[in-house]
Amino acid sequence: MDHVQDGSVVVTDDYFGYRGIPKIFRHKTVKHGAKEYSRKEKDLTVHTNTVESKFSLLKRGIIGTFHAVSKKHLPLYLAEFDHRFNHRKVSDGERTVSALKMAEGKRLTLKPLKRGAK
């Protein structure tokens, strides 16, 4: 939990493995086994729909397009799918323009293959 701010609300399903989440977080669960997928608690809607949607997009991309992801390049794949998810409600053209603006001023450098390498 190195990347979660202390005091954050962490929402999960009721999988047993999540029961050890440190007490410095407010842990809320939805009980999918009891067909609970969302509930309202004062000003908070407790659900995992958004994260499940995001992981679904990532899994479909890896299985359907990339087929495999190396540990070395995983952060780049995650950044790409983050961008896709965050721009899912705009046109392909708008998403492309946004990605190109993010690339402005950056250089892509590739190491040449050694002779005989594949």
User: Are 43 and 55 part of one and the same domain?
Assistant: no
pLDDT of 117 reads: 60
pTM for the predicted model, two decimal places? 0.67
3-state secondary structure 36-72: CCEEEECCEEEECHHHHHHHHHHHHHHHHHHCCCCCC
Place of tokens 């007490």: 23
Q: Domain span at residue 19?
A: 9-47
User: What sign does the dihedral 29-34-36-37 (CA atoms) show?
Assistant: positive
pLDDT of 118 reads: 59
Domain-located, residue 62: yes
Domain-located, residue 95: yes
pLDDT of 36 reads: 96
pLDDT of 37 reads: 95
Residues of the chain under the 70 pLDDT cut: 117-118
User: Are 31 and 56 part of one and the same domain?
Assistant: no
